[in-house]
Amino acid sequence: MNTQHLEDAAATVIIGQKVVPGRARDYEAWQQELNAAAADYAGYLGAEISPPTLRQTDWVVVYRFDSIAHLQAWMNSETRQSFLDSGSEYFDGPATQQVISGGTQPADPLVTVVVTHRVHPDHVDGFLEWQRRLNQEESKFEGFRGTELFRPIEGLQDEWTTLYRFDNAEHLDAWLTSDKRREVLAEGEKFKDFELRTIDNSFGSWFAFEENGREAPPPSETKTAIAVWVGLYPTVVLLTLALAPFHLPIWLGLLVGNLLSSFIMSFLTMPYYVNRLLKRWLRPSPDQSAARTNLLGLGIVGAVMVFWAAVFYVVTTQIWTLP
């Protein structure tokens, strides 16, 4: 294994934590403070908190650093240990942890499964062959978006970690419950001891960018709300115009319109319009002035919204008058 390559590659740690019932808000506030402290450490690239969902039973926190060495410095720091001591009252049992070095951020990280295996050194070749067989079969299933396999990291993690992704939960379930998967798992009987966790990132692709293989910190809640507004306004108006000839009652029109707008926003408006238009504002370069970036971003938002308002004013008053 090339140790220098691992030291130079970006490193990610995925931490799962069950939280004491009724303490979720306290835990989240504590975790936000912990993430802010991590940002002061060398090599920090970003952090993300994902609350539990129907598919993801624990809170998931992801830290990304530019190297294993910098990630280790943060994970072993007195600062983090102090936070862990003060936040222990929120924990409902021990946390789980997987570290991966390198890898890429997918364009549409909708549902990610993290699987860890402990493999005896004598069985590595057999394990890799079995993984290739597993990947070959899962790639035939609808919605499969790729897989990545990560070796153990000496001094940090003993397990092999596999990430595989599907475009939605239904397609993932089809693979997880399939006869073919059971058949391949049976073939790898000696590797049957593993842990599997699903990370639900259903809306993660709205603001997913990749710059030179690195994931920047997510935009603030204020920027996120404004960006969604920029995409939502033209989407909703255009859908309203498109559905108007059907003369649907308001309860049915909103039901259909909201469903369609969710799909359009997720797969078209946000990734191909808003993210590209506001990219430098949502994900500013660290060497750019925050004031200048915000001024430019808000200027673009204002100009675009004035444009859409003017277009829809003309369309709905001069060209097409809605009933």
Interval 110-128: pLDDT, tens? 577 888 888 888 888 998 9
Query: Kind and range of the H or E element at 259?
Result: helix 250-264
Cα–Cα distance for residue pair 41/272, rounded to 1 Å: 33
CB atoms within 10 A of CB 93: 10
Amino acid at 299: G
pLDDT of residue 26: 94
**What percent of the chain is modeled with pLDDT above 90?**
26
Is residue 273 within 8 Å of 238, Cβ to Cβ? no
Residue length of the chain: 323
Task: Give pLDDT, residue 102.
Answer: 62
Question: Which residues of the chain does CATH 3.30.70.100 include?
Answer: 3-207
Q: What is the pLDDT of residue 1?
A: 37
For 270-304, give one letter per residue: b (16+ CB within 10 A) or e: bbebbbebbeebbbbeeeeeeeebeebbeeebeeb
Q: What's 240's DSSP letter?
A: H
Q: Where are the alpha helices (DSSP H) in the chain?
A: 3-8, 24-38, 68-75, 78-87, 124-138, 169-176, 179-187, 221-243, 250-264, 275-277, 279-282, 290-314
Structure tokens at 159: 């397990």
**Which residues of the chain have a pLDDT value below 70?**
1-9, 102-110, 155-156, 199-218, 285-287, 321-323
Paired tokens of 144? 């499969």
Task: Collapse the DSSP code of 116 into the 3-class scheme (helix H, G, I; strand E, B; otherwise coil) and give the result.
Answer: strand
Residue 322 structure tokens: 């809605």
Q: Are strands 96-101 and 111-117 parallel, antiparallel or unpaired?
A: unpaired
**79 CB-side CA count, 13 A:** 14
Q: Which two tokens stand for residue 307?
A: 């444009």
Class of CATH domain 3-207: alpha beta
Q: For position 322, what pLDDT does the model report? A: 59
Terminal CA-to-CA distance of the chain, rounded, Å? Answer: 69
Q: Tell me the residue type at 184.
A: V
Q: Which residues of 196-216 are buried (b: 16+ CB within 10 A; e: fewer)?
A: ebbbbbeebbbbbbeeeeebb
Q: pTM for this one?
A: 0.49
Measured in whole angstroms, the distance separating CA 277 from the mean position of its chain's CA atoms is 21
Which tokens go with 50?
A: 């994902």
pLDDT in the model for residue 107? 43
pLDDT of amino acid 302: 96
